[in-house]
Amino acid sequence: MEKLTVVGSGGMGRGIAYAAALGGFQVYVNDVSQENLDKAKLYIEIMLPLGDGM
């Protein structure tokens, strides 16, 4: 498995997406709210370079 789709980009969804991306998966996130998607993308873009040192 190389790709993962996460449905929902709230707190849990973005956390799952982040962990999967950190693990090397190609991640797709889907949500009915563009605002939530934008927030999740920003969160992941900020956190990903930090790695697992959260």
* Residue 41 CA, distance from chain mean position: 7
The per-residue pLDDT for 48 is 86
Query: Which residue ranges make up each domain of the chain?
Result: 3-50
Two tokens at 32? 């009915």
Report pLDDT digits (tens) over 5-53.
999 999 999 999 999 999 999 999 999 999 999 999 999 999 888 876 5
The model carries a pTM of 0.83
* Residues paired with residue 3 on neighbouring β-strands, in sequence order: 26
CA–CA separation, 34 vs 38, rounded Å?
Answer: 6
CB 49 within 8 A of CB 41: no
